[in-house]
Amino acid sequence: MDEHDYTRSVSAHYASGDLGEKVMAGLRASGKDPGSLRVEDLASLDQMHFGGIQATRDLMRQAGLERGMRVLDVGGGLGGPARLLADEAGCVVTVLELSDELCEVGQMLTARVGLSERVAFRHGSALDMPFGDGDFDLVWTQHATMNIAEKDRLYREIHRVLRPGGRLVMQEIMAGPLQPIHFPVPWAQDATISFLRSPEETRATLSDIGFREVEWVDQRAQVLDGMQGQAPGGPQVPRPRLGSTCCSGLNSPRWCRTSGATSAKIALPSCGQSWSASDTLRDEDVPGAGG
C-alpha cells in the first residue's frame, strides 16, 4: 500500500465525510446545547480510547505535568485529551492528526469550549512531523500507534521534537502472545492498517533510540474487565451512534464492548490478544537527545 492509499484508508476508518454534523446531532440527542459546551460534555464523543476520560485523567496524573508545558498529542483525533490537558492542567497543546476531517471537527469543538488559544490542530504525518527539533516538553499518545507500521521512524521523530529531558507519555495497544488477532478490531477492519508490536519490542526500540524508561504499567486485566462488564445481559449504556465505522470510538469510550460486532464472544478474542500499557518514558539528557 503506497502512502496515499494508506492515508486514505486510515482517514476513512476514523472519519465519515459528515462527522461534524453527526457530532452536533449526537450532542443534541444527548441533551447538550452545542452553543454552550464544556470540555466534559464531549467526553463520550472525543475520548477515543479504552477507559474514556478517566483513563486520560489517570495518565495525566502519571505524566508530571506543569502549567504552561508545551505538549504534542500525536494522532490526537478530535482532540479530547488535548482539551483536557489544556483545561485541567493548563498545558499548551498541539494535536498532530493524519485525518483532515478530524482536524476540522476538532478545531470546531475546541472553539465551542473556548480553548482555541491553548489547543491547536496540525494536519500531518507522525512519520514526518512539521515541527522543529526540541519544540515540545512532552509528547502524548493514546491509542494512536496501532495504525503505524514504521514504529522506529515514529519514535525517532518523537525523540527529535522533544527537548532534552522531555517526556513521552503513552497509553497504547500492543501485541499479545496469541497472533494473529481476529478482525475487525476498533482500530482496523483488517490487517492492512493494523501494526501491533509486543511490549518487549516496543521497549527495546525506545531504549535503542535514547529513551529511558520511568514507569510501565500493564493494563491487560482492566481491559478484559471492561469488556466483560459490557457482555450481553450486562448493563448497557445507550449512546448516540455517530461514527460509520466500528472503531471510531465516537459511539462509546468503552470500545472493547463490541469491536465491530454485537457479541462479546467476538470482542474478547479480538481485544484479549493485545493489551494496553500506560507508559511514562523520559528522554535522556545526553548530547543529541531531543534534537
Residue stretches of the chain with pLDDT short of 70:
223-224, 226-291
Distances (CA, A) of 223 to 26, 153, 154, 200: 26, 28, 25, 19
Which grid cell is 193?
A: 492498517
Amino acid code (one letter) for 241: R
Question: How many helices, marked H, and strands, marked E, lie in the chain?
Answer: 10, 7
Which grid cell is 188?
A: 482496523
Of 254, 258, 243, which Cα lies nearest the Cα of 276? Answer: 254
Q: How far apart are CA 66 and CA 64, in angstroms?
A: 7
Q: Which residues contact residue 114 at a Cβ distance below 8 angstroms, ignoring those fewer than 6 apart?
A: none
Please give the pLDDT value at position 224.
67
Residue 6 and residue 95 in contact, taking contact as beta carbons nearer than 8 Å: no
Dump pLDDT digits (tens) for 17-54: 788 888 888 888 888 898 889 999 888 888 878 788 88
Distances (CA, A) of 200 to 197, 207, 209, 210, 291: 8, 11, 14, 16, 25
pTM score of the predicted model: 0.79
Please give the pLDDT value at position 137.
96
Neighbours of 280 (CB within 10 A): 18
Please give the pLDDT value at position 66.
95
Terminal Cα-to-Cα distance of the chain (whole angstroms): 31
Please give the pLDDT value at position 186.
86
The SS3 of residue 279 is: strand
Please give the pLDDT value at position 181.
86
Q: How far apart are CA 247 and CA 96, in angstroms?
A: 20
Q: How far apart are CA 211 and CA 203, in angstroms?
A: 9
Neighbours of 3 (CB within 10 A): 10
Of 119, 158, 162, which Cα lies nearest the Cα of 141? Answer: 158
* Helix (H) or strand (E) segment spanning residue 228: helix 220-228
Please give the pLDDT value at position 202.
92
